[in-house]
Each structure stands twice: as C-alpha cells, then as structure tokens.
Amino acid sequence: MGRETRKSGNFVVMTMPELHRIEGADTMLLPERFTYPFCYEPHGLTRLAAERVTEYLSGRYAHHDALEQGKMLGVLVALDSEGRLGYLAAYSGEVAGLEKDRYFVPPVYDLNERGGVFKRGEARITALNRVIEWLERFAPMAIARERLARMAASHEREERAFRERMVVNKAQRTARRVEGALSAEQEQRLIRESQFEKAELRRMRRRHEEERRPLEVMLNEHRERILRRKQQRKQMSEALQRRIFGLFEMLNGRGERKTLPEIFSEYDQTHGGSGDALPPAGAGECAAPRLLQFAYSKGLKPVCMGEFWWGASPVGEEREKGKFYPACHHKCMPILGFMLQGLDVEANPLAADCALPLSVVWEDEWLVAVNKPAGLASVPGVAHTDSALLRLQKMYPQARRLMLAHRLDQATSGLLLAAKDDVTGALMHRQFERGEVRKTYVALLCGNVAADEGEVSLPLGADYHDRPRQKVDSERGKEARTSYRVLRRFARHVLVEFTPHTGRTHQLRVHSASSQGLRAAIAGDTLYGGQTTVPATVAEILTRDYGMSQRGAAGIWLQSQSLRFTHPMTGEEVNIALKKQVLKFA
C-alpha cells in the first residue's frame, strides 16, 4: 500500500512505514472490538501480521546481535481511509542498525535526532562526566590519600604500643598494691602515674589529629567538589528527562493530545496519589504506544494489536521467542489508558464479574473449604469488587470476622480455605506461613517436561518495573521450591501435579515458564507466555477427570486440588480434596 517501494531480498519494504499488506487475511473476519493490551488472546490477524514480521526479520536480520539479545516487538492491524487492511510493525526502545529501516514505525520522539534537545543535553552531561572522572583520578589527591593512609596506620601503631605499655604498667601497680600496704605518698605516686599515662595518650591523639588534619581537609574539600558536580549532574539529568517527556505528545482515538507528564500526573491522581509522579525512564518508547501514535497521526483506524518477544530472554525474566505478552504495566498502563480513549476496546477480563458459583467442598464449626472458580478474585481489589471473601461473608453472616487462611491468584481455580473466626484464622494462617500445610495443584503446561518428576528451586522476587509479574532473582529473591510429578502427556501439552513447599506469589507460574525451571508455561497464562488455545479433546479430559476449567482470558489451567493440615482446634489431621458433589452455592 506504500506508494514508494524498494526490494530487500524476498520482501518489498515501504520507504515510509505505511501499512504492509497481510497475505491470507481476506477470508478473516475483523474483530468486533480493539484489543485490550494487558490481557488478551491475539486475534488471527495479529498472528498473521506477527508471522510476516518474523519472516522479515529472519530474512533480513538473521544474525543481528542486538536483536538476538532480546527485544519486544509489536504489530498493529489497521484500516486506511479507503478501507484497505494492513499492518504496522514496531520494536521497543532502540535496536542498533534498525533505526533507519522504514519497515518499522518511527519513535514518538527521536532521541537520536542530531542537534536535538536530547543530544544537546546529553552532550552537556557527558562533558560533566569527564570533569567528574578527571577529579576522581586527580593524581595529587591519590597521592594525598595514600599518604594519609600511611600516616593513619603509623599513628594507630604508635597508639596501640602505648596502650599496651599502659596495660603492663597498670598490672604492675596492681601487683604492688596486692603485695603489701603502701604509704599515702606511694599511693599518690601510683595514681599520678596512671593519670599521666592517660593524659599522655590524649596528647598523643591530639597530636596525631593535628598532623592528619591538613590532608583530611584537602581531601574532604576535593570530595565535596566531586559531590557538587555529581549533584549538578543529577539535576541536569532530571531536568533533561522532564524536558524530553514534555516533547512526547501522545495522541488518542479522539484526536486529543497530552504530554507524558500530564498523562502520568492524571493517572497518579486518579489512583490516590498527589499527581507529582514523573514518567519512568523509557516511557513512551514501547512498541504499543509507537504503533498507536503512528496510526493516529496517519489517519488509520486501529483494528487489533499484539506484542511478541524476539531473541534471548532477559536474566530472571520469562520471555520466549515468538510468544505474545501483555503490555507492561509500569510504563504503558497510564499511556495506553489515555491513547485507547476513543476506541471501542475489549473489556478487561480480569475486571469482569465472575458468574460461576463458589461451591462448598468441606466445612465444620470453624473452617470452610470452597472450590473457587477461575476469574474470581480471592479478595476485593482495585479492578474488581466481587471476590471469594465477600461471597463467603454473605454465606456466613453470623461468622465472627470470617477471614481467608490463604489466597489463590484470580486466574487460578480450586480449593480455598477460610476460617469462620479470627482466632482460627490466625492459627491457620500461621500454618500456611510456616509451610505446614501440604498443598497440591494440577496444571496443564504448554510443551514438554523431560523428567517424570523432580523439584524446581528458584528464588523469586517482584518485577518492580512490570507488576504484577514476578521474576527469578538470585540476589534479592526469596527461596521458592516446588516438587512436580507428570500425570499425563498429550501431543503438545503435559499435565503435571505440583506440590509447592513455599508460598511465593506466582511461584508455580514462574517455575513452570522459567528457562531455569520446566521451560513450559501454564496453558492460558499469557502473563508468562502460555498459549491460550487448548485442544477440545484435552480440555474435555481435564474437565471430566479433574474438574478443571478455564474462564477465557481471566483463567489459566491451574487448579488447587488438595489441602492437608492439622486442625487448629481439634488437633486432628484434615485431608480435603476436590469432589464433584458440593454442599451449597453462592
């Protein structure tokens, strides 16, 4: 559809990044609503467009180091003013060697523009960096530091020797007092000796301090000069960042414009903040905002979109080449929240009400275990008001401070235990915290697991730049251990029983998807690259034999199957497993 084209191997590439044709899309129906980018099943058109991008990269950049190190790519399917269908492609951030390739849409603001605001500001900061480096390597200061270190060591040796003599002299004075009665004059002489030694030690320390002071003053003044330059550099960087963010003027489907600081300030205010929040580094440079910005600027009508990974996975994160992932929350949630205004966007499946019932599996005077459906949150949250806790409180209005003993992810189904009073709840919660409750889960994984059983031990921590994702973090992560056993193997999936020995957030999901773990994400878990499509025959077996179910994009094929614990009130062992018969519904 581009007016000017050039040949590149087997591909025709637009000299300007206009819509690329999608071969094979003629028979596909357009989606009724635009993609909700934070939890979605890629539309067939999105998949076709991603395949074309993959072919292009494989043909043109087969051995591109920067790409192979890992990069998020994006595609946006759109209609032009004449109703012709095509797609746009983009990559997040920068990729050396691709900045001039017009196959991809340009950045919202070109940070590398020669003579631009960023380049000029970067040059000033670079010049200041050179000054700081020169000051830190300044030879006379290095000599002064070495001289001061030698002097301090010499003073320490002298003071230590004097203190050792004081100890010997004190022992001798004590021995003289023990040997026999001393005259008043002799006692006073011993006291004066002790006082003189203490005074002499103080004089020695003052003399040493006076000797060191000129060097210390000179070095402190030099450190202050360096600190002032570093503070100046920090202020310059922050000012440059604020100025750059002000140049990112984002568009939305209504034709409105807002800068990144305006977007993040309003987002912060609507979420209970003061409105002072600044955009994080890299905001506005992800693939999704780039694609929407270019589409709006060219008068194109967005149809659907998706982001997929290319290259190696970042350390600790779970990314697999060719798999689709949701947009990041940290940088893109506020931006896309503005940019999608004016489009008919799919509803957030995680915020939708769950119509499936909450069924009681087991209960007694103190505890109740229910089968929580996928898509129902354990507790109320920002995006949803319905929850298992609220339903249980309605079921047991007479219960004194009913509380959950543990939680399940909203996307996970299965056994959830609650206490009917706060005392029982506290005792039960303590058992979960100490790992004294034996839990088993059943999960359908995408791909294959080599061993029939084993254990995954990978420390986990929050991905603060992309909540609610978790990641493998060997430095700050907490211990997380999971035993697994293969129950059944299918053509492209494997059914696994998990026994977690710790209770970290998303533990089973990360241990499954991690390249250091099982290398097979849980089916339906789009957050970690799990495929959403499961063969009907497999789904039927899971539903029939294990009572599992998946509630669209809001659920994953992971179910809490059993709980075994010591009853906090009776001391008896309780073993609860899912059954098809239930007692009542909520």
Judge whether 380 and 404 are in contact, CB under 8 Å.
Answer: no
Residue 225 CA neighbour count, 13 Å, CB half: 14
Decide if 65 is catalytic. no
Contact assessment for residue 91 and residue 104, using Cβ atoms and an 8 Å cutoff: yes
CB 391 within 8 A of CB 373: no
345 near 395, Cβ under 8 Å?
no
Rounded to 10°, the helix 184-247/260-270 angle is: 110
**Can you tell me the distance from the alpha carbon of 30 to that of 25, in angstroms, rounded to the nearest whole number?**
9
- Read out DSSP for 113-144? -TTSHHHHHHHHHHHHHHHHHHHHT-HHHHHH
Identified catalytic residue from 26, 268, 409, 422: 409
User: What stretches of 353-463 show up as alpha helix (H) in DSSP?
Assistant: 388-395, 422-433
What is the SS3 assignment for 204?
helix
Determine the Cα–Cα distance for residues 80 and 295; give it in Å rounded to an integer. Answer: 9
Cβ–Cβ < 8 Å for 106, 100: no
Q: Give the dihedral sign, CA 36/42/46/52.
A: positive
Give bridge partners of residue 371 from the DSSP assignment.
359, 415
Strand-pair category, 413-419 with 558-566: parallel
Query: Looking up tokens 């996970």, which residue turns up?
Result: 412
Q: Tally Cβ neighbours within 10 Å of residue 200.
A: 12
Catalytic residues: 409
